Amino acid sequence: MTLLSIEGVTVRRGGRTIVDGVNAELAAGQFVALIGANGAGKSSLLKAAAGLWKPDAGQVTLDGALLASLSRRTLAQRRAYLPQSPRVEWPISVERLVALGLTPRLPPFGGLDAWLEPALTQVIEACDLTAHRHQTATTLSGGELARAMLARALIGEPDILLVDEPISGLDPRHALDTVSRLQALALGSGRLVLAAIHDLTLAARYSTHILALHEGRLATFGPTAQVLTPALLRQVFQVDARISGQGLETVVHYSA
Q: Give the C-alpha distances (Å, rounded to integers) separating 131 from 91, 121, 156, 217.
A: 17, 12, 22, 43
CB atoms within 10 A of CB 1: 9
Residues 157 and 81: beta-carbon distance below 8 Å: no
The mean per-residue pLDDT over the stretch 208-226 comes to: 98
Contact present, 34 and 165 (Cβ < 8 Å): no
- 0.85 exceeded by pTM: yes
Position 240 pLDDT exceeds 70: yes
Task: State residue 1's pLDDT score.
Answer: 74
Q: Which of 233, 226, 230 is nearest to 207 (CA)?
A: 226
C-alpha–C-alpha distance, residues 95 and 152, integer Å: 9
Mean pLDDT rounded to a whole number for the chain: 91
Tens digit of pLDDT for each residue in 51-64?
999 999 999 999 99
C-beta separation of 211 from 217 below 8 A:
no
Burial class (CB in 10 A: 0-12, 13-18, 19+), 249: exposed
Dump pLDDT digits (tens) for 87-137. Answer: 888 899 999 999 888 875 555 555 666 777 888 999 999 889 999 999 999
Q: Which domains does the chain have, with CATH numbers?
A: 3-255 (3.40.50.300)
Q: What is the pLDDT of residue 221?
A: 98
pLDDT score for 109: 58
Q: Do the Cβ atoms of 94 and 135 come closer than 8 Å?
A: yes
Q: Which residue, 123, 93, 89, is CA-closest to 111?
A: 93
pLDDT digits (tens, 9 = 90+) for 22-49: 999 999 999 999 999 999 999 999 999 9
**Percent of residues, the chain, with pLDDT higher than 90:** 70
In Å, how far are 8, 11, 39, 80, 90 from 23, measured between CA atoms?
Answer: 5, 13, 18, 21, 39
